[in-house]
Amino acid sequence: MQDIKQTVDEVQETHLDEKVEALRSNIDNISEDVQTWRLPERDTYLEALESLRGHVGEIESEWGTVSATMKTQRERLESLLESFPGVIETSSIRVLALRLNHLEGLVSKLVEEENTKTTASTTRKQLIISFVALGVTVVLWCTFIGFNFFG
């Protein structure tokens, strides 16, 4: 449970806020530089910078929404963990139980397969012994009949 809280707390919301603010500052500086230029393309650059400024504003507002949602979810998770500390352990135990059942099934299938192979091998050996015994019996009968008939 402490690991989950630590992981949730490690998410830095201010990190992206700082980057967005630095980007906004850089755009403002570039915009001021472009306004001092005496080039005919200056209006195009200014329009591009204004468009970029608008996009940054949209990103900043979306980040605010995401940040608020993350904060709400963090609060919900913390309250859930405080209310039901065994929930996480229970789900982990269920997953481990399912894996264990799956492994037990695989082991039983492997044991059955090994038993089947052993049974098939034993049956094959018994069949060979039976044919050899039958052959020996036929040879002995032929020999017995041959001695009695020709002898």
**Burial class for 6, CB neighbours closer than 10 Å (0-12, 13-18, 19+):** exposed
pLDDT at 25: 76
DSSP 40: T
Domain limits, the chain: 2-83
38's tokens: 């005496």
In 3D space, the residue among 75, 74, 59 whose CA is nearest the CA of residue 17 turns out to be 59
122/128 Cα distance (integer angstroms): 10
Q: Which fold has domain 2-83?
A: Helix Hairpins (1.10.287)
List the chain pLDDT tens, one digit each, 151 residues.
555 555 555 555 556 666 667 777 777 777 777 666 656 666 676 777 777 777 777 777 777 777 777 778 778 777 777 776 665 666 777 778 888 888 888 888 888 998 899 899 899 999 999 999 999 999 999 999 999 988 6
Q: In the prediction, which pLDDT does 64 show?
A: 74
Helices (H), the chain: 2-10, 13-36, 42-83, 86-150
> E strand or H helix at 38, and its extent?
none
Output the pLDDT for position 88.
60
